[in-house]
Amino acid sequence: MPKLDKQFIKKVRRQDRFATRAITVGGLLVIASVIAILVLIVRVTLPLFQPAGAEISHRLTVKSGTAPVLAVGMDDTQEVGFTLDTTGLFSFYDLASGKPFFTAPASTRKATVQSVESNKNNVFALLWEDNSVTVSQVDFRLLYDDSGLRTVQPEISQLGDYPPRSYPAPVKSMMVRSHEGRLTQVALLADNRFQIDHEVATTNILGDEKKEAFSFLLNEELPGPITAFTLDEQGSALFAGTGAGSLLRWDLGENESAERTDNVVAVAGDKPVTALAMVFGDISVAVGGADGSLATWSQIWTGEGDDRVRRLRKTHTLTSHQAPVERIIPSRRSKSLVSLGADGKTHFDHMTSEKHLLNLDPALTMAGISGQGNGLIGLDSKNTLTVWNVDSPHPEISLKTLFGKVWYESYDKPEYVWQSSSASDDFEPKLSLVPLLFGTIKGTLYAMIFAVPLAIFGAVYTSQFSTAGFKKTVKPVVEIMASIPSVVIGFLIALWLAPIVEKAILAVILGVLLLPLIFVTIMAVLRPFYKTPTLQNFCSGHEFLLLVPVIFLAGALAMGIAPFVEQLLFAGDFKQWLYNDLGLRYDQRNCIIIAFGLGIAVIPIIFSITEDAISNIPPSLTAASLALGASRWQTIWRVVLPSASPGIFAAIMIGFGRAVGETMIVLMATGNTPILDWSIFNGMRTLSANIAVEP
């Protein structure tokens, strides 16, 4: 044997070293990128759970010598703040410099404002001493000069001016709502009664306007003195809280009618309701009590059958104050609430997530939220205006809203719901991940039940029983299947297969049941002929051909007997029977379809990797097993499969990964219904499809 060339050995070693390093670097890079992806995901998601923060951005003192302030507010850019005082004068301050720069009266009247109420951003209803009402809106116009510098110019516009009405007793406070041609004024009188005034303007087809006015007293026994009340945006629901802790609600009709729908105890221990406010969206009402409790109530359907009615229920309990709640200010952009306690604490809470966002200390007497909900302006007893820049980008996200049951507005009970968006601003996002996780698991599970046995047994057969020629054709063909774009599969199964399966659903089910039955029968019949040479010769490597007639037979039989079975057992309509007797709704786009579709996508992958794993078993192992007298089946079961199991496991996992991550097939063929139901006859909404269908 010639001695190996030293140069050559050196070269080989060098190449070895190089390969080792390259592989090491490659492996480390893979690990590093996986970690980097994880870090990225964490970085993207962490801000969702970041606690809210607030920092004081401006602080200034209100001009001394002015009348007492009744309301405060600011513009969206948080550059201009304003106060409204008892003379009806709006004073605007440049927040950065703290200087007043503009004043404007709400009305030309020279009178004193008795109370101010605001139900929209920067819209104020002023009740004058003579019981007349002015509704003023503060607008901020952004102006740009030639050099592009921005200035904020405040403007006061009068939305309405309503002359005094006649009242049988002095007016304590008043609410005004104007909505689609209907004006509603509700006044709380000193003798603990409500007077309601409606003005309804209707326009007929010819364009003639007709005005109708109604005025009536709510002459009913009230369970205690009214301590707080509020009206919804449309002026159709009146809420009132009493000194004994009751919460009352009336439906105000178009004419002289007011029907009391609710009388519930909202504050425990006979303590009075001290503050009421409609949560943004006008569905829930926030109730603050003298015991410091803060909760939201909304109307939900209760009762059975024809007795179903909508009644007030407490849906969310928010963090309590240590002292009576003095005032609740709802955000006009989300379901957040600012509440002022008598002890000078200011709370920032979110209704849906029940998250306590912020706890501010200064003793505020008055507060306002900026239009975008990211600024808070407050006035304390020393006439100092303070502006906070509130940073609470995701108040609606908490572990509970993502994974727990949440009681959403208008829902009968707490539920897992995914319904993320709407065209309206006052929508309450419903972001439970549970239906999506459930849908992902459901789809994947059914797909794997269909795909794994087919793929693995197919691979075992191809590698161990079939002839080499057969294997050479089958493997590439199956692998080509893997290259079918999933959008094509999705399209075909959604629009072609789904209607066919729907028409022949019973035949499909019968076919699945009949197939093994017929197969076993044929096997039993053929048993005496197993050893005959003709069958042996024919069968060796072509056993699968025996299955072809079985499949056709089962299919034909299923199709043939399905109508009779349907007539006999299911009163002529299987789907109807499912719905009536089992309560299962048959959806055209269901898990059977998905199992087929995902199966087509997953089977080639599992098949191919499993086949490789089995083929890579050293022939010595199988040869030894066969030589010791084991049958082919024993060899496969005891030797081949155990040795190949890591590879098979990898195949299943990769297939599983594809099924979990598959987007287009489920997107097109499921209907994306976020339901929690294991039924194989309806669809689901998966996480991946969700990413594609959401904006």
- CA-wise closest residue to 381 among 403, 365, 362: 365
Interface with another protein (CB under 8 A), residue from 191, 270, 581, 694:
694
Applying the rule CB under 8 A, the residues between 114 and 153 that interact with another protein are 142, 144, 147-153
Other CB atoms within a 10 A radius of the CB of residue 545 amount to 10
570 forms part of the interface with another protein (CB under 8 A): no
375 forms part of the interface with another protein (CB under 8 A): no
Instruction: Write down the least CB distance from residue 178 to another protein, Å.
Output: 17
71 forms part of the interface with another protein (CB under 8 A): no
Instruction: Write down the least CB distance from residue 213 to another protein, Å.
Output: 25
Interface with another protein (CB under 8 A), residue from 430, 471, 475, 658:
430
Instruction: Write down the least CB distance from residue 46 to another protein, Å.
Output: 22
334 vs 608 by CB, closer to another protein: 334
39 forms part of the interface with another protein (CB under 8 A): no
Interface with another protein (CB under 8 A), residue from 586, 596, 607, 656:
586
Counting Cβ atoms within 10 Å, is residue 169 exposed (0-12), middle (13-18) or buried (19+)? middle
Q: Answer left, alpha or beta for residue 580, where phi above 0 means left and psi between -120 and 50 means alpha.
A: alpha
Instruction: Write down the least CB distance from residue 418 to another protein, Å.
Output: 8
150 vs 382 by CB, closer to another protein: 150
Interface with another protein (CB under 8 A), residue from 459, 671, 679, 688:
671
- CA-wise closest residue to 500 among 589, 609, 607: 589
Other CB atoms within a 10 A radius of the CB of residue 650 amount to 15
114 vs 334 by CB, closer to another protein: 334
5 vs 209 by CB, closer to another protein: 209
90 forms part of the interface with another protein (CB under 8 A): no
Site string for another protein, 256-285 (x = CB under 8 A): -------------------------x----
Counting Cβ atoms within 10 Å, is residue 122 exposed (0-12), middle (13-18) or buried (19+)? buried
CB 247 within 8 A of CB 297: yes
* Measured distance CA(242)–CA(493) in Å, rounded: 61
* Measured distance CA(417)–CA(427) in Å, rounded: 14
143 vs 627 by CB, closer to another protein: 143
Instruction: Write down the least CB distance from residue 99 to another protein, Å.
Output: 9
79 forms part of the interface with another protein (CB under 8 A): yes
Cα distances (angstroms) measured from residue 147 to each of 61, 80, 151, 154, 259: 32, 21, 12, 21, 60
Cα-only R_g, the chain: 37
Interface with another protein (CB under 8 A), residue from 123, 498, 514, 609:
498
Instruction: Write down the least CB distance from residue 12 to another protein, Å.
Output: 55
Interface with another protein (CB under 8 A), residue from 411, 470, 544, 570:
411
Interface with another protein (CB under 8 A), residue from 107, 134, 464, 682:
682
User: Up-side HSE of residue 280: CA atoms within 13 Å toward CB?
Assistant: 25
Region of 196-204, 284-292, 478-486, 493-501 interacting with another protein (CB under 8 A): 493-501
CB 66 within 8 A of CB 85: yes
Interface with another protein (CB under 8 A), residue from 372, 389, 615, 634:
372
The DSSP call for residue 272 is P
Site string for another protein, 303-332 (x = CB under 8 A): ---x-xx-----------------------
What ranges make up the beta strands (E) of 129-283?
A: 133-144, 150-162, 171-179, 182-189, 194-203, 209-217, 226-231, 237-242, 246-252, 258-265, 273-278
Interface with another protein (CB under 8 A), residue from 157, 473, 576, 631:
576
CB 87 within 8 A of CB 113: yes
337 forms part of the interface with another protein (CB under 8 A): no
> Helix/strand/coil (H, E, C) string of 54-109?
EEEEEEEECCCCCCCEEEEEECCCCCEEEEEECCCEEEEEECCCCEEEEEEECCCC
Instruction: Write down the least CB distance from residue 630 to another protein, Å.
Output: 53
Site string for another protein, 151-180 (x = CB under 8 A): xxx---------------------------
327 vs 685 by CB, closer to another protein: 685
User: Up-side HSE of residue 632: CA atoms within 13 Å toward CB?
Assistant: 8
Longest dimension (CA), the chain: 125
419 forms part of the interface with another protein (CB under 8 A): yes
- The site that binds another protein (CB under 8 A) totals a number of residues, namely 66
Please give the order of strands across the beta sheet that includes 53-61.
53-61, 384-391, 375-380, 364-369
301 forms part of the interface with another protein (CB under 8 A): yes
88 forms part of the interface with another protein (CB under 8 A): no
215 vs 420 by CB, closer to another protein: 420
Region of 359-367, 412-420, 522-530, 636-644 interacting with another protein (CB under 8 A): 412-420
Instruction: Write down the least CB distance from residue 420 to another protein, Å.
Output: 6
488 forms part of the interface with another protein (CB under 8 A): no
207 forms part of the interface with another protein (CB under 8 A): no
202 forms part of the interface with another protein (CB under 8 A): no
678 forms part of the interface with another protein (CB under 8 A): no
- CA-wise closest residue to 185 among 209, 217, 156: 217
> Helix/strand/coil (H, E, C) string of 281-294?
CCCEEEEEECCCCE
Go through 454-465 and write b for each residue having 16 or more CB atoms within 10 A of its CB, e for each that does not: ebbebbbbbbbb
Q: Answer left, alpha or beta for residue 619, where phi above 0 means left and psi between -120 and 50 means alpha.
A: alpha
In Å, how far from its chain's centre is CA 116?
37
**Backbone torsions φ then ψ of 226, nearest 5 degrees:** -75, 125
Task: Give the contacts of 583 (CB within 8 A, at least 6 positions apart).
Answer: none
Quick one: which H or E segment has residue 309?
A: strand 309-318
408 forms part of the interface with another protein (CB under 8 A): yes
15 forms part of the interface with another protein (CB under 8 A): no
425 forms part of the interface with another protein (CB under 8 A): yes
Q: Which residues bind another protein (CB under 8 A)?
A: 76-77, 79-80, 94, 101, 142, 144, 147-153, 281, 301, 306, 308-309, 333, 372, 408, 410-411, 417-427, 430, 435, 495, 498-499, 502, 573, 576, 579-580, 585-589, 667-668, 670-675, 682-683, 685, 692-695
